[in-house]
Amino acid sequence: MEGIQEKAGEIKSVRADFIQEKHLKILSKPLISKGTFYYQATQSLRWEYTSPFQSILLMHNGKIKRYIKGSEGFMQDSGVKLQAMQVVLQEIALWLKGQFNDNPNYNAVLEPGPKVVLTPKEKSFAKIIQRIELLLSNQPGVIKTVCVYENDSSYTKFIFKNVRLNKPLKDSLFQEIQ
């Protein structure tokens, strides 16, 4: 795990397309969402959905905002769940730096693949997320897939494609919806 962290430390920026598959017992096929994400070391992230709806989540300097294209164009989300999203996004920023062990709330185990399995230490949190599995690429700093398991029949799989590393990204990408 330390070796992965050392190599991932060289990552300054990431841009990748993603496919999100939501698997639920009551759905015959997963619900597919698509989008693009941008990351800039050390804590800036833009998570943008393009279909089936448009949504942009921005994290910059510890502040998080979400915009969704609704009935009156892009509107800011004022939902309470944004606090939970802040935790998730900070987690993603840690993973991209290879720092799987840095969150004291999870136990991290490296398995063949290479795959990192994170399990919540607290029972109350484990009721919300049972485990997270990260399938790593052989290329440092690149994650192939992330699976977030709520239970065995409900999970979300993120598949990352067209990954571009260390290309310059504008600061405004993380501050404005554009």
Which residues contribute to the site for other proteins (CB under 8 A)? 20, 22, 24, 26-28, 31, 33, 47, 49, 52-53, 55, 66, 68, 70-71, 75-81, 84-85, 88, 128-129, 148, 150, 154, 156
Which is nearer to other proteins, 12 or 65 (by Cβ)? 65
Which is nearer to other proteins, 6 or 53 (by Cβ)? 53
Q: Quick one: which H or E segment has residue 70? A: strand 63-70
Torsion sign (Cα): 14, 69, 129, 42: positive
Asked whether 112 and 94 are in contact (CB, 8 A), the reply is no
CA angle 92, 69, 159 (to 5 degrees): 35
Asked whether 134 and 100 are in contact (CB, 8 A), the reply is yes
Which is nearer to other proteins, 3 or 79 (by Cβ)? 79
Q: Minimum distance between the CB of residue 88 and other proteins, rounded to whole angstroms? A: 7
Q: Minimum distance between the CB of residue 93 and other proteins, rounded to whole angstroms? A: 15
R_g over Cα of the chain: 16
Which is nearer to other proteins, 77 or 140 (by Cβ)? 77
